[in-house]
A and B are shown apart, each in its own frame.
Chain A
Amino acid sequence: MGDALTVVALAAVVLFVVTLVWRLVPLRRDLGTPADRATFNTLHTASLAAPPLRCGLTAGGAGRAARHLRALLGTPGLAISDTEQLLAWDGAGDGHGAHAVRHAQPATEHARTEVVGPAGVACADPDCPIKVGVVAPLVVEDRVVGSLTAYGLTASAGLVRATNEVARWVSAQLELAELDASRTRLVEAELRALRAQISPHFVYNSLTAIASFVRTDPVRARELLLEFADFTRYSFRRHGEFTTLAEELRSIDRYLLLERARFGDRLQVTLQIAPEVLPVSVPFLCIQPLVENAVRHGLEGRPGQGHVTIVAEDAGSEALISVEDDGTGIDPDLVRQTLAGGHDGDSVGLGNVDERLRQVYGDDYGLVVETAPGAGTKVSMRVPKYRAGVHA
């Protein structure tokens, strides 16, 4: 009885491991017709060449892509250059690479495909398979950024056309790389904008609030000024896209201290923070804007007290963070538009925070907003405790 169960259980374990390996290692189970296979092979080779090219036209990326591109063209030699120098050479006879930039010059100048004859290419070795070169320019946004040269025995019409097509495909990848880069620059610009965005209202209000204490309670006024200094130091720091939840909360504490100086007892704050999640790395200034919104929605434009509740709890491999107010609420449609990136008027930074979270952690990790007019607002997010590349 016992032994039989052991055997069954061990079999279950083995089955599990085998299934796992089966899932992790995809096999080509259906091979298709020869034409299908040729298409698959071409597409597969192209897909291998794509990721290195998506880093832009660099020596490293070109070097890794050149091997696959040469396989795609089936030529004995292939060179990738930018407008100044050779970036990568793949194939026989390294000596030819040294001349690639000279071969490419006419094509890059005229922005069209050129054939370089044996007079310019062939070397002393009669057995060398490299006699002619077909040079195609790489064009990104109507600008020639480099060239792709295929070397072979003869410049057949087929080779010229194939080289042309491959160069256009490479150009498309480089354009996508450019797009990635500009998207990153955009996010950085937004982050800078967000840092700058905190100030005007808040700076003015804080300073007037502090001013009101200068005579009546100079000690408190001094403390508040120092808190204000620390707050701005954190908010305007230059380095790092990420910070720890502890740091972010410390800054929020300072922010709330200054707001309490202004609103007095009207502002009620509850913080429920599980200490286990304090070391979690979070995108810089990802909670602060939400708190600022909560204070505004909870208090401004209405009499009486407003409650703001900030909760951070531990949930296994993630931290759950939420900011809630019992204020006027927002129109859900407006929130939808803001999160969709269209409109960013009333809710400072909501769309920005949402976008940065999605960019870092993936689309599953956007902001969740629960609100209705008159029913308060709750904004929550999930943050994974570890994600490659995220370090405070």
Chain B
Amino acid sequence: MSDPTYGVLAVTAVTLATILIGSFALRFSRTTSDFYVASRSVSPVWNASAIGGEYLSAASFLGVAGLILTYGVDMLWFPVGYTAGYLVLLVLVAAPLRRSGAYTLPDFAQARLESMLVRRIASVMVVLIGWLYLLPQFVGAGLTLRVATGVPGWLGGLLVAVIVVFSVATGGMRSITFVQAFQYWLKLTALAVPVVFLLIAWQADGRPALDDSRPPTFRERTTVTVRTDVSFVVTDPVRTVVTGRLDGTTYDAATRRLDVGAHVAREGARLTFPAGAVVPHAEKLEPSSGHDWARPLSGAGGRDHPLYSTYSLILALFFGTMGLPHVLVRFYTNPDGRAARRTTLVVLVLLGAFYLFPTVYGVLARIYTPDLLLTGATDGAVLLLPQRVVGGLAGDLLGALVTAGAFAAFLSTSSGLTVSVAGVLSQDVLRGGVRDFRVAGALAVTVPFLVSLGAGSLAVADVVGLAFAVAAASFCPLLLLGIWWRRLTDVGAAAGLLVGGGLATAAVAATIGGATRSGWLGALLAQPAAWTVPIAFLVMVVVSRHTQHRVPPNVRRTLVRLHAPESLPLRRDPPVHRRPA
């Protein structure tokens, strides 16, 4: 473990910078004694940076690399899907949604279907999706702080929760474009700069590659510190130096031979493996050779039914993005539908650039930090790599930079989500003014934080994937049918939201609650999008067709407004002659 000072400094700096920029930007963005402020709307590039800032969460920053380290190239669909979701959004949703004038998803439901019931169901879904998305942020924050400074896991989550509640309650960080845009560039820098050094170090190291025939091995004598109790499986007998409790016996720097089979290491145990030993894997992971790891749909790492899981994941990510509450709120800032499309296009570019880096981290982690496969804390790969590969002061500094970026990821995503969830809670559930907004903010954070305490073993990106699945099974049909199908009725939308969202939520609850992850049932529960999304669409269409008398009375007018460009002279005054120049 390196000196924790740098980590603490990095986290403090990010927190302070975020709060300070929040309060200063409030002043900067508002102080203009100049005229024509009205034409200075938020440009697509700023807006897109802000969307990127809120969107790139712990899952993107830490989770993707961890999953690639463990499960191989199939996990590349995570970054691809996170990005491609915006393509679907761009083509099918962005401009009509902006023209609807809706600020939140429940607003859209009400505007399109003219029904308070659908609005309320949508509100509940927003809260559930928001909570599900907040949960891994707290898990990731705990992990980051533990890796950087060695404090217990729950403390990092608590820290983020407190900062977010504080800033929401005091009115800072409320969807201020400037702050969120800053967060994107901070995160990009925090990943991109270390990558340069990592690649140089890798080059200098003789460009080591993975062993095609064997699971990963320790490149050098490595000491693994166990932070939480772990059960691991040894496939190759190996002599280790053990300090702490292993298999029910306490050792003090004793040399012990680990036989083939399962072993249990208690919290605080330290095991030192010789160079070249095959890395024992945590019980829930399966060792796989470099060849399997690099082969698509091989089921590397112990995922059952890789073909189904991959397609289900693709469906969830491609169609889930449009249903994320904190993303849609930002589209309101665009002056019109055209600007909304441009913003989405820029978002695609920004995300595409960002996601190159977690992939590099994932591959390097397989080479340099395979010991994470033993402890199972694979999400820490990004944080550990700089110290492990570069080392020395430079390694510490780069590690601090990555830590800062990760913390920025939790803060920005959590605050964006909390504002969205709290807004819906206070507007549609608690009904009230500012005081209620604070209560709602606290409630929005408390529930997922409590769940996160018990969900420490879940992969961050996996849980975020589940949030996408619920969004895809509830809001994707609502948005797509609402925008493109005039025969959608309020009853149909309500039924589809309840059935699709309900089934997906149930599957997610079962997965988080620890239901089986193996076999067909496990695959269906862990990746529910492939069956819940079609069911949701089907229910919405069938029920709507049977309740055609309930088509909203103003549906034609609504659809014209959604699809006609703002520049079309609908209901405008007669044109004036252009004045002479």
Kindly state the separation between the CA atoms of A390 and B104 in the bound complex, as whole angstroms.
Answer: 15
Interface presence of A27 (CB below 8 A): no
Given the interface pairs A13-B447, A388-B110, the reply to whether A275 lies near B41 with Cβ below 8 Å is: yes
Interface pair A390/B437, CB less than 8 Å apart: no
Interface pair B101/A6, CB less than 8 Å apart: no
Interface pair B37/A273, CB less than 8 Å apart: yes
Interface presence of B38 (CB below 8 A): yes
Interface pair A5/B104, CB less than 8 Å apart: no
Interface pair B111/A9, CB less than 8 Å apart: no
Residues of A within 8 A of B255 (CB): none
The smallest beta-carbon distance between B117 and chain A, in angstroms, is 8
CB contact between A239 and one of B101, B128, B572 (< 8 Å): that residue: B572
Interface pair A270/B42, CB less than 8 Å apart: no
User: Which stretch from B282-290, B295-303, B313-321, B449-457 is at the chain A interface?
Assistant: B449-457
Interface pair A6/B573, CB less than 8 Å apart: no
Residues of B within 8 A of A390 (CB): 101
Interface pair B571/A391, CB less than 8 Å apart: no
Interface pair B514/A316, CB less than 8 Å apart: no
Interface presence of A281 (CB below 8 A): yes
Interface presence of B227 (CB below 8 A): no
Interface pair B30/A311, CB less than 8 Å apart: yes
Residues of B within 8 A of A256 (CB): 35
A4-28 toward B: CB 8 Å interface, digit per residue (1/0)?
Answer: 1111111011001100100010000
Interface pair A274/B29, CB less than 8 Å apart: yes
Residues of B within 8 A of A271 (CB): 32-35, 37
Listed A/B pairs (28) with beta-carbon separation below 8 Å: A2-B454, A5-B450, A6-B451, A6-B513, A9-B447, A10-B509, A12-B447, A13-B128, A229-B579, A237-B573, A246-B41, A249-B38, A253-B35, A253-B36, A272-B31, A276-B175, A276-B177, A276-B333, A278-B41, A279-B336, A315-B171, A315-B174, A316-B174, A316-B422, A317-B423, A386-B104, A386-B107, A391-B561
Kindly state the separation between the CA atoms of A233 and B26 in the bound complex, as whole angstroms.
Answer: 34
- A residues 193-248 with Cβ under 8 Å of B? 226, 229, 233, 237-240, 244, 246-247
- Nearest 5 CB-CB pairings of A with B: A5-B454, A272-B30, A6-B454, A9-B451, A249-B38
Interface pair B571/A240, CB less than 8 Å apart: yes
Interface pair B33/A314, CB less than 8 Å apart: no
Residues of B within 8 A of A275 (CB): 29, 40-42, 177, 333
Who on chain B is nearest to A239 by CB? B571
Who on chain B is nearest to A236 by CB? B573
Given the interface pairs A276-B176, A314-B174, the reply to whether A233 lies near B101 with Cβ below 8 Å is: no
B15-44 toward A: CB 8 Å interface, digit per residue (1/0)?
Answer: 000000000001001111111111111100
Given the interface pairs A239-B573, A281-B101, the reply to whether A272 lies near B453 with Cβ below 8 Å is: no
Who on chain B is nearest to A237 by CB? B573
Kindly state the separation between the CA atoms of A103 and B26 in the bound complex, as whole angstroms.
Answer: 71
Interface presence of B484 (CB below 8 A): no
Interface presence of A257 (CB below 8 A): yes
Residues of A within 8 A of B423 (CB): 316-317
Kindly state the separation between the CA atoms of A246 and B101 in the bound complex, as whole angstroms.
Answer: 14
Interface pair A9/B174, CB less than 8 Å apart: no
Kindly state the separation between the CA atoms of A278 and B30 in the bound complex, as whole angstroms.
Answer: 12
Who on chain A is nearest to B30 by CB? A272
Residues of A within 8 A of B42 (CB): 275-276, 278
Interface pair B514/A10, CB less than 8 Å apart: no
Interface pair A6/B455, CB less than 8 Å apart: yes
Interface presence of B576 (CB below 8 A): yes
Residues of B within 8 A of A272 (CB): 30-32
The smallest beta-carbon distance between B529 and chain A, in angstroms, is 20
Interface presence of B103 (CB below 8 A): yes
Residues of A within 8 A of B40 (CB): 275
- B-side residues, CB < 8 A to A, are 26, 29-42, 101-104, 107, 110-111, 114, 120, 124, 128, 131, 171, 174-177, 332-336, 419, 422-423, 427, 429, 433, 437, 447, 450-451, 453-457, 509, 512-514, 561, 571-573, 576, 579
- Describe B's contact surface by its main secondary structure: loop
Kindly state the separation between the CA atoms of A273 and B429 in the bound complex, as whole angstroms.
Answer: 31
Interface pair A9/B33, CB less than 8 Å apart: no
Given the interface pairs A9-B454, A386-B107, A390-B101, the reply to whether A273 lies near B177 with Cβ below 8 Å is: no
CB contact between A273 and one of B38, B333, B419, B513 (< 8 Å): that residue: B38
The smallest beta-carbon distance between B131 and chain A, in angstroms, is 7
Interface presence of A250 (CB below 8 A): yes
Residues of B within 8 A of A5 (CB): 450-451, 453-454
Who on chain B is nearest to A250 by CB? B38
Residues of A within 8 A of B36 (CB): 250, 253
Interface pair A20/B429, CB less than 8 Å apart: yes
The smallest beta-carbon distance between A166 and chain B, in angstroms, is 26
Given the interface pairs A314-B176, A386-B103, A386-B104, the reply to whether A279 lies near B573 with Cβ below 8 Å is: no
Interface presence of A269 (CB below 8 A): yes
Who on chain A is nearest to B331 by CB? A279
Residues of B within 8 A of A13 (CB): 128, 131, 447, 451, 509
Residues of A within 8 A of B124 (CB): 17, 20
Residues of A within 8 A of B29 (CB): 274-275
Interface pair B30/A8, CB less than 8 Å apart: no
Who on chain A is nearest to B451 by CB? A9
Residues of B within 8 A of A279 (CB): 41, 332-336
Kindly state the separation between the CA atoms of A82 and B174 in the bound complex, as whole angstroms.
Answer: 55
Interface pair B447/A16, CB less than 8 Å apart: yes
The smallest beta-carbon distance between B269 and chain A, in angstroms, is 18
Kindly state the separation between the CA atoms of A1 and B457 in the bound complex, as whole angstroms.
Answer: 12
Kindly state the separation between the CA atoms of A392 and B335 in the bound complex, as whole angstroms.
Answer: 12
Interface pair A317/B103, CB less than 8 Å apart: yes
Residues of B within 8 A of A278 (CB): 38, 41-42, 335
The smallest beta-carbon distance between B98 and chain A, in angstroms, is 8
Kindly state the separation between the CA atoms of A246 and B422 in the bound complex, as whole angstroms.
Answer: 27
Interface pair B41/A385, CB less than 8 Å apart: no
The smallest beta-carbon distance between B181 and chain A, in angstroms, is 12
The smallest beta-carbon distance between A113 and chain B, in angstroms, is 34
Kindly state the separation between the CA atoms of A256 and B37 in the bound complex, as whole angstroms.
Answer: 13
Interface presence of A3 (CB below 8 A): yes
A259-291 toward B: CB 8 Å interface, digit per residue (1/0)?
Answer: 000000000011111111011010000000000
Interface presence of A313 (CB below 8 A): yes
- Give me 6 other A-B pairs in contact (C-beta within 8 A), A16-B447, A278-B335, A388-B110 excluded: A1-B454, A17-B124, A274-B29, A275-B177, A276-B176, A386-B101
Kindly state the separation between the CA atoms of A276 and B174 in the bound complex, as whole angstroms.
Answer: 11
Kindly state the separation between the CA atoms of A279 and B103 in the bound complex, as whole angstroms.
Answer: 11
CB contact between B576 and one of A10, A233, A273, A311 (< 8 Å): that residue: A233
A296-326 toward B: CB 8 Å interface, digit per residue (1/0)?
Answer: 0000000000000001011111000000000
CB contact between A388 and one of B41, B114, B437, B572 (< 8 Å): that residue: B114
Kindly state the separation between the CA atoms of A191 and B39 in the bound complex, as whole angstroms.
Answer: 26
Residues of A within 8 A of B427 (CB): 317
Residues of B within 8 A of A239 (CB): 571-573
Who on chain B is nearest to A278 by CB? B41
Kindly state the separation between the CA atoms of A6 and B447 in the bound complex, as whole angstroms.
Answer: 11
Interface pair B30/A313, CB less than 8 Å apart: yes
Given the interface pairs A3-B514, A6-B455, A275-B40, the reply to whether A385 lies near B103 with Cβ below 8 Å is: yes
Most buried by B among A2, A9, A24, A249: A9
CB contact between B450 and one of A8, A20, A386, A392 (< 8 Å): that residue: A8
